[in-house]
Structure formats: structure tokens, C-alpha cells
Structure 1
């Protein structure tokens, strides 16, 4: 009997995005999060006395030129060397772009599979055959899984592959292949990488995306970690997720439909934050607050969005190690603005203006054309962040539609506030 550890998408020294602008943000935790999560991975491997560790791509985070990142990795896997734990790894799309990958000399307990063709390594003492191939270029669109060798008889056969399979939302379609392609190889376990959300694709045989070990922004929410695999009598006996993240991201949705006053809304928000904190298992929490529902306080929320955001941020900090990444005011008006909104009179100029704003549709392209800074900002963001969670930098995206709607609702709320006080 023995165990091994399967991890992927480490993205060492990748910045955590979303909290940088706030004075109370945990700057040091943000900078060190991926390193601390990797330390947790090393500690887990040693504590569990695993036979080997599999790293299924994207150890690094693109074309970094800071060799301290690579030196950190070498230092940590040297700890595994002292514990007689071997490491087997393939390069992913981010590693293919990394200068570090091509320059550092790896310790002798680390085996990096070739990027030219699939290779096989056997561990005779354990009866294990490992098959893998890395990326020779970032935008790999070939189905390299088809070329993996046939399983070795009387061995536990494990495939190591960085792939999108047939595609997953928010991830580039690199090294695509089908489930049937993997099943046809007859391996006992497929250690996959590239998809940052944990997924057990199949269990006979086991085909697993462990997810990344540390969430880096709001589109990587929930527990993050690695997969511990137990082998008994030459068969996979158990597959278990182990949490390794040091800071957790969460989307907190609060329905304000039944909140008749702002105070009731704030209490509902407080309860929602507390609930999310309870699910973070003692970790600091980076939280996005999304307010929904046909709310009686809809107009007040949009009118006072800026001061309320600061109030919600103070509420979060008061509850513990919670940092508010963003507030999305996604409530709706309980009734449509038609006829005589808010008693303004059906033919008053203000009523006409409110209804005109309500009907107004921002034209595609208008946001980036009218506010060049937004276009400039989007152009500077890395492609993977733009694609994850629908943050595509075009005006047909969910992000742009949400922004247009939020601007419209804020204008209406301001108008109605002025009308109520005339």
C-alpha cells in the first residue's frame, strides 16, 4: 500500500487580483498566498509520507523573469528529496512561456517529462508506470493524448496531462481531447491539470482535475487544494481532496426581496457575510457581495451606492478577516416605471426623463469609445483573467451589460431622489 499526491496549476507568485486598491487589504497575504499554499502542499506530502507527487502543469505563471520564483520551487522540492519523495511533472501553457522553466537546474528527485513526445517512467519498487508529455508552446491545440503509449502490463498506469478536455468555461481549449481518448488508453488514473475548479471527470478509471491550490481572484471561489490517492494491491482504493489554500474567495449573494428598509437590508447582508465566513474554515476571506431581488430599497441602494459600499466594507472588517472585493447592486425595482413614477405627475419633465433613462439602451462600443481608460485597462489584463467568468473585454459581454444596467439604475435612483425632494 502507498499514497501519492496529485496537484496542478500552482501558478507560483501569481498576484491575487481584486483587493489591491483598498488600504485595509491583506497585502502581504496576497503576495505570499501561492507560496504559502505550495508550502502546505509540501507539508502534506511529508506528513502523509507519499511515495511521489504529480504536478500536472502550470507550476509558474507565464513569462516571469524573477528567478527567485524558481529558486523557491527548488528549495521546497529539496525538502521532498530529503524525505525520499520523488516529483513528476509536465509543463503547461504558462510554463511554456516561462523563461524560468528553461534555465533552472532541477534537483535529481524531480522528473520533467519531455515536450517533444510522450515518455514513460517506471517505479519498479511500487509497480507504477507514469506516462506524460508537456507543452512545447503556450498555444498547444494538438490532441497529444492520442499519442500516449499503451499501458504497461502488471503496472499501475498513470497519465499526466495538462488539457482542457472538450472545453471548460473560462479556460482556453489547449491540448483538447475527449473522455473516450483517455479511456481508450486503459490507464488506472489520469492526473489532469489546466482547469482550476476541482472535477472528478470519471471514477472508473479515475480521471481527475484537482483544481488549483490557491484561488487568485473572485472567479476562483471555494476550497482549493490537491488530491491524495491511496493505492492498495495495485489498484486505486481511495481518492480524497485535501484543502491547501490560505486565503479563500467567496461570492456572497443576498436576496433583499423581503427587506422593507435599509436597516433590514444591512442586517440581511451581515448575516450573509457571517455565513460565508463560517464556510471559510478559519481562513481570511475575500468576498464579493451581490445584492439581488425585487427590493423595496432598490432605488435607495443605487442612489447611495458609494457610501453604502464603504459601510458594507466596514461591516465586513468588523466581522473578522473579511475583505470586500466588490459590491454588485443587482436588485430590481418592485414595479416598472410607467405612468406616474413616484407620484411625479405623468406629464412632468422629470417623469419623462426617468422613463427615457429606463428605456435607454447603451449602444455596443459606447463604453470603451466614450471612456478610453476602460479600453486601455482591458488591454493590459492577462488573457486568462479576461476569459474567466465572462470578463471578455468587448461590449457584448456579461460584464459590459451589467455595467450598463448599473449605470442606468443609478441615474434613475438619483432622479427619483431629486424628484421626491422637490
Structure 2
């Protein structure tokens, strides 16, 4: 019986994004998060007395800023060497972008797979065959899985591969291959990398994306870590996720449908934050607050979004080691405006015109000359680099809706909260 550990997408020294603009942000934890998570990986490997560690690509985050990133990795590999733990590493697309990586001398317990063709390493004392190939360039469009050798008889066969398979949202289609391509090789375990969300693609055979070991922004929420595999009598007995992250990202979704006063809404937000904090199990937490539901407070929420954002930020700070990354005001009116105002009233026609506006930045400036003044009043969460531009294309629709709702709320309202 023995165990091995499978991790991927370490992205050593990659910065955490989304909190750096806030004065109370945990700067030290942000800078050291990926290293501390990697230390947790090393500690887990030693504590579990694993036979070997598999690293399925993107150990680094492209070109290093200095050589210390590599020295840190070599030092941690030395710690595993003292414990007689071997390491098998297949480079990924980010590793291929680094020139320094190619000249880094690794300890003799670490094997870096060839980038030219698949290699097979035999661990005869364990009855294991490890197959793998790394990237020699950042963009690898070929299906290299098809060139992997067939599994060896009377061995536990493991394949290391940095791939998007048939495609995963948010990830470039590198080293594409199908489930059938992998199954055809007759391996017992495919140790995949590249996709940052943990996924057990198959259990017969085991085909696993362990996810990255540390979330780096709000689009990588939830528990992050590695996969611990136990082998008994030459067969895989258990496959378990183990948490390694040191700072967790979370989407805190709060339904305000039943909240009839702002005090009740704030209490609901506090309860939501406390729930997320409990699930983080003592880790510092960065949250994105999303307010949803058909709420009587819809207009007030949008009208006073800047003030409320600061109030919610204060709630998070009061809970300790929690930071509010952003507030998304996504509630809906309980009754359509046309019903309240009358479909043919001048006010209804004006609001209908606002709802139909093209809210691309240039068109918005032309159609609404006073938008410059409104822009100064918008909360920073709606701005990017000082302009009405979403931080990503995926957020563009939400941004437009928030601006429309703010305009309508100001049109209908008679001032903010007292």
C-alpha cells in the first residue's frame, strides 16, 4: 500500500487580484498566498508519507520577476528529497513562457518530463509506470495524448497531461483531446492540469483535474487544493480532495425578497457573510456580495449603492479577516414600472427610453451629456481605470444594467438615505 499526491496549476508568485486597491487589504497575505499554499502541499506530502508527488503543469506564472521564485521551488523540492519523496513534473503553457525555467537545475528527486515526446518512468518497487510530456511552447494546439504509449501490463499506469480536454470555460483550448483518447491508453489514473476548478472527469479510469491550490481572484472561488490517492494491492482504493488554500474567495448571494426595510436587508447581508465565514473554516475571506430577489427596496438599493457599498464593507471588516471585493446590485422590482406609472405617462416613456439606451461608453456620453457628473458619483465597483468600462467582457451586461437602474432610481427618487 502507498499513497501519492496530485496537484496542478500552482502559479507560484502569481498575484491575487481584486483587493489591491483597498487600503485595508491583506497585502502581505496576497503577496505570499501561492507560496504559503505550496508550503501546505509540501507539509501534506510529508505528513501523509506519500511515495511521490505529481505536478501537472503551470508550476510558474510565466516569466519570473526574479530568480527567487525558482529558488523557492528548489528549496521545497529539497525538503521532499530529505523525506525520500520523488516528484514528477510536466510543464504547462505558463511554464513554457519562462526562459529562466529552462536553465533551472532541479534536485535529483525531481523528474521534468520531456517536451519533445512522451516519456515513461518506471517505479518497479511500487509497480508503477508514470507517463508524461510537457509543453515546449505556450500555445500547444496538437493532441499529444494520442502519442502517449499504451499502459504497461502488470503496472499501475499514470499519465500526466496539461490539457483542456474538449474545452472548459475560461481556459484556452490547449493540448485538446477527448475522453476516448485518454481511455484508449489503458491507464489507471490520468493526472490532468490546466483547469482551475476541481473535476473528477471519470472514475473508471480515474481522470482528475485537481484544480489550482490557491484561488487568485473572485472567478476562482471555493476550496482549493490537491488530490490524495491511496493505492492498495496495485489498484486505486481512494481519491480524496485536500484543502491547501490560505485565503478563500467566495460569492455571497443574498436574497432580499422578504426584506421590507433596509435594516432587514442589512441583517440579511450580515447573516450571509457569517455563513460564508463559517464555511471558510478560519481562513481569511474575500467575498463578492450579490444582492438578488424581487425586492421592495430595489430602487433605494440602486439609488444609494455607493453609500450601501461602504456600509457593507464595514460589516465585512467588523467580522474580522474578511474583505469585500465588490457588491453586485442585481435585485428586481416586485412590480413592473409600467404598472406603477401607467404605460402612456411621460415618466413611463422617459424610463422606457433609458431602458432602451445603448450603454456602450461612447454612445452613452453622446446620448446623455450629463453622464460625466453621474460618473463621478458612481461607486468604484462600476468603474475600471477611471472610466465606464467593465473589468471583463463577461461583466459588461451587469454593468449596463446597474447604470440603467441607477439612472432610473435617481430619476424617480428624491435624494438618498437620511
- Structure 1 position 357 matched with structure 2 position 354: yes
- Map of 1:117 onto structure 2: 117
Matches within 5 A, 1:169-184: 169-184=169-184
Paired with 2:19 and 2:41, the residues of 1 have a C-alpha distance of: 25
- Structure 1 position 265 matched with structure 2 position 261: no
> Does the CA-based 8 Å contact 1:65-1:100 persist in structure 2?
no
> Does the CA-based 8 Å contact 1:339-1:346 persist in structure 2?
no
- Map of 1:314 onto structure 2: 314
- Map of 1:163 onto structure 2: 163
The CA deviation at 1:347 is: 4.8
> Does the CA-based 8 Å contact 1:65-1:99 persist in structure 2?
no
Paired with 1:286 and 1:272, the residues of 2 have a C-alpha distance of: 13
SS at match of 1:81: helix
The CA deviation at 1:64 is: 2.0
RMSD over aligned Cα, in angstroms? 2.5
> Does the CA-based 8 Å contact 1:368-1:375 persist in structure 2?
no
Deviations 1:60-98 (Å, cap 9, x if unpaired)? 001224111011000111000011101000000100101
- Map of 1:98 onto structure 2: 98
Deviations 1:141-197 (Å, cap 9, x if unpaired)? 100000001111211110000000001111111000000000000011100000101
* Long gaps (5+) in structure 1: 379-385
* Long gaps (5+) in structure 2: 373-381
- Map of 1:399 onto structure 2: 395
Count, aligned residues: 401
Q: So what's the TM-score if we normalise by structure 2? A: 0.91
The CA deviation at 1:354 is: 3.2
SS at match of 2:177: coil
Paired with 2:219 and 2:411, the residues of 1 have a C-alpha distance of: 34
The CA deviation at 1:320 is: 2.1
- Structure 1 position 4 matched with structure 2 position 4: yes
- Map of 2:329 onto structure 1: 329
The CA deviation at 1:418 is: 3.0
Matches within 5 A, 1:16-95: 16-95=16-95
The CA deviation at 1:351 is: 5.4
Paired with 2:354 and 2:328, the residues of 1 have a C-alpha distance of: 20
> Does the CA-based 8 Å contact 2:337-2:348 persist in structure 1?
no
The CA deviation at 1:420 is: 11
Gap change, CA 1:367 and 1:197, over 3 Å in 2: farther
- Map of 2:289 onto structure 1: 289
Deviations 1:96-125 (Å, cap 9, x if unpaired)? 101231121111110000000000111111
Gap change, CA 1:358 and 1:420, over 3 Å in 2: farther
Gap change, CA 1:326 and 1:160, over 3 Å in 2: same
- Map of 1:383 onto structure 2: none
